[in-house]
Chains A and B, each alone.
Chain A
Amino acid sequence: MSDVSEVKASEVKASKENANESANEAPSAAGNAAPKEAPSAAGNAAPNEAPSSASNNTPTATRYTPTAAKNQKGRFGEFGGQYIPETLVSELIQLELAYEQASKDIQFKQELATLLNTYANRPSLLYFAKKMTEDLGGAKVYLKREDLNHTGSHKINNVLGQCLLAKRRGKTRVIAETGAGQHGVATATAAALMGMQCEVFMGREDTMRQALNVYRMELLGARVHSVTTGTQTLKDAVNEAMREWVSRIDDTHYVLGSVMGPHPFPTIVRDFQSVISAEARAQILEREGALPAAVVACVGGGSNAAGMFHHFVNDTSVALIGCEAAGRGISTGEHAATIATGEIGVFHGMKSLFCQDSNGQIAPVYSISAGLDYPGIGPEHAWLHSTGRAKYIPITDDEAVSAFEYLSRTEGIIAAIESAHAVAYAIVLAQELKKHESIIVCLSGRGDKDVAAIARYCGKDISE
């Protein structure tokens, strides 16, 4: 049954060694494509890649003007890019410029820091899970408590940043996609706070799985669109949000919720989420006087993992582990395990890995967790995977639910079912590491939203 146990601590060690090689290619440089740089140098994380080797099958070199030469912006190796309709290109260029200016602007940074600290409840705790550690008998387990943020997940970190940026650009309206509802709730919250209109796109299937979050968004003044196209889940919510955005670029900012989509989103979202590892790294050094052996986070699109990994990427002794949704098991075909089963492709604005069929049609995916139920992964994760710097482990529904129950009983913490995927692997990993070592699990969200669904999964019918 256990996909978890397939990956042993020895592989974690191995990943440390592999990581040394990629240490010099600072991924932080990848997305920070300065617009004024020469196109040949702009933000490419893979230094050896010659611009002429544009696509896999390029038979001959041809003459093209600089911007038609391989677009290096926001590339993480071969992943990333801006694969979107022409109508959106100028908006992305403007967004990138605005973001670069804002990220150098002390006033913007202070404003965001104040919101994070006084409104969102940062810094979040790094909690030592003593009982869990004693029970498992191995490495010390620390939980990065993003579940204690205002709105109950890490999503608020990104949303406050993007909404501030949107306001600064004169936008009066924000739209967002949401899977589990956490990003939608966070966006609706920030919009209420900043006096912006908000509309959220959510797959019909997810509106039923997460009915409570739909009402939360409505309470916050947002309008929720139930998306009935395709699989009626997160992927389709993104499709609809993109269609809406292309129609209302003038006054609307699309608050993308994960480290995905066209450049500059993967970089912007990662940067706003990197507050997680900036805090966690300082906190663990203060507590342990040493870096952790591993950091573990769940991965759908990959925003909490990107935030959890970022400031540890150059610490090559720290294993970076993402836990993706194996649903009913990889072999059943009912899963959302993009790294384990996906292939290179282009979708939702980015070149990355996607679950797809033999004709390049995006595959329907499945997970008990609405937040991980996505057929792709952010381009930086595809790159961290391809370089071997990070490892990605599939976790089944059963394993996640067991971990959800375990953490509830052992530590009195009801984690989001998404985060429970990371807890599931941490349970295995902690037992395989030594007592003097430590690991940090990103507890990306709280599980109140999941209680009814988990009860149903366990055969108990409760009404909310």
Chain B
Amino acid sequence: MTSNGALRIKEAFAKGKALVCFVTGGDPSVAQTEAYILDMIKAGADVIEVGIPFSDPIAEGQVIQEANIRALAADTNINSLFAMVQRLRLQGETKTPILFMGYLNPILHYGYDSFFSKCAINGVDGVIVADLPYVEKCEIAAVAKAYGVAVISMIAPTTADRIEEIASNAEGFIYLVSSLGVTGERSQLHAELGQTIARIRKVTTVPVAVGFGVHSPEQAQMLTASDAGINADGVIIGSALVRKIAASPQTAGGEIAVLLNKIKTKMKNL
């Protein structure tokens, strides 16, 4: 069985400026994550990223590092996350793209063929691997393609003269890293995001979403407004949601929905 993850992602971005929401799978339990995802979709999330927890998440700031620890303490693994996605798909969540985001080692250990075949079977449309830059993409590119799973490429403020090459080979969407450093909310984003997006648009129609540090409705508006110089196709919000889960897992679903509603409203009223 194969799927076409890139197509489902494309349709999600075709509806307008997209809101991509990250949650660490299994924080504090897989059942809770499943509920949060339903809350997010209801509140307007266009794409869901589920973090596969890893013991040593080197690209994460403290908020998501701690989420990884909680998820591992709850015995979360790739199989339990596949089962969760399958349940979501069986409940009728068939339109919203769901991506896995994580580090290469758990996927390598699972076996690339097993992993991507199960992505296709269970309805995981794409993967974002934080420690697999474009220069190493071939590690998984062929097998992911065979099963129709999109491998999302990242472009960073330091990517410089490799922007065009990465963009012209991108699939699904391009994950534009907003600033130097690890994940986590921040007020200052890199000054040249607009120029980078303009360079990307010259070589591809694949949409661009900005992540790392995005946490407020105002930022989301500033990043996606067509007249504000950046004009991204979407934003990725992670640590701000995970922080709410850490603070109060029982009420986080509702609080996340309120924040996402505000962000969506700002992104619509451009």
Contacts and interface: CB of A to CB of B under 8 A. Distances in A.
Interface of A: 54-62, 64-65, 67-71, 73, 81-91, 229-230, 235-236, 239, 242-243, 246-250, 343-349, 354, 356, 358-362
B7 interface: no
A85 B156 contact: yes
A59 B142 contact: yes
A87 B136 contact: no
Nearest to B144: A62
Given A56-B112, A361-B54, A68 B138 contact: yes
B105 A362 contact: yes
Given A59-B113, A83-B131, A91-B158, A242 B105 contact: no
Interface in B111-159: 111-113, 130-143, 145-146, 153-159
Contact of B180 (A62, A247, A354): A247
A89 B109 contact: no
Given A54-B142, A81-B136, A360-B108, A246 B130 contact: no
Given A65-B165, A247-B181, 20 more contacts: A55-B138, A62-B142, A64-B169, A65-B169, A70-B139, A83-B104, A83-B131, A85-B133, A86-B134, A86-B154, A86-B158, A89-B134, A230-B56, A248-B180, A249-B158, A346-B108, A348-B58, A354-B105, A361-B54, A361-B105
A356 B109 CA distance: 9
Contacts of B158: 86-91, 249
For the complex of A and B, the 3 pairs showing the least CB-CB separation, nearest first, are A360-B109, A247-B181, A360-B106
A96 to B, nearest CB: 12
A55 B140 contact: yes
B180 A360 contact: no
Given A246-B180, A345-B105, A60 B134 contact: no
B141 A60 contact: no
Contacts of A83: 104, 131-133, 136
A305 B179 CA distance: 38
A76 to B, nearest CB: 15
Contacts of B159: 86, 89-90
B95 interface: no
A161 to B, nearest CB: 24
Contact of A85 (B130, B141, B142): B130
Contact of B182 (A59, A247, A348): A247
Contacts of B136: 71, 81-83
A60 B116 CA distance: 13
B121 to A, nearest CB: 15
A55 B54 contact: no
A250 B190 CA distance: 13
Contacts of A230: 55-56
Nearest to B155: A86
5 contacts: A65-B169, A86-B155, A345-B105, A347-B56, A360-B105
A64 B59 contact: no
A229 B140 CA distance: 30
A362 B109 CA distance: 11
A235 B56 contact: yes
B106 A71 contact: no
A57 B135 contact: no
A88 B145 CA distance: 26
B108 A89 contact: no
Interface string B78-116: 100000000000000000000000011111111111000
B142 A359 contact: no
Contact of B56 (A69, A71, A89, A362): A362
A85 B154 contact: yes
Contacts of B162: 67, 89-90
Nearest to A242: B58
A68 B108 CA distance: 18
Contact of B112 (A55, A82, A248, A361): A55
Nearest to A62: B142
Contact of B106 (A87, A247, A359): A359
B160 interface: yes
A239 B177 contact: no
B107 to A, nearest CB: 7
Given A67-B165, A87-B156, A246-B59, A345 B108 contact: yes
A67 B138 CA distance: 9
Given A86-B177, A89-B135, A246-B181, A356 B105 contact: yes
A54 B138 contact: yes
B180 A57 contact: no
A345 B56 CA distance: 13
Contacts of A70: 138-139
Q: Which of B77, B106, B146, B154 has the most CB of A within 10 A?
A: B106
Nearest to B114: A57
B65 interface: yes
A136 B142 CA distance: 57
Interface in B161-199: 162, 165, 169, 177, 180-182
B257 interface: no
Q: Which of B110, B113, B133, B154 has the most CB of A within 10 A?
A: B133
Contacts of A362: 55-56, 105
Contacts of A91: 158
Contact of A64 (B131, B141, B156): B141
Nearest to A240: B58
Given A90-B158, A91-B158, A55 B142 contact: yes
A361 B156 contact: no
Nearest to B109: A360
B109 A85 contact: no
B45 interface: no
B260 interface: no
B72 interface: yes
Contacts of B141: 54, 62, 64, 68
A62 B104 CA distance: 20
B110 A55 contact: no
Contacts of A58: 112, 142-143
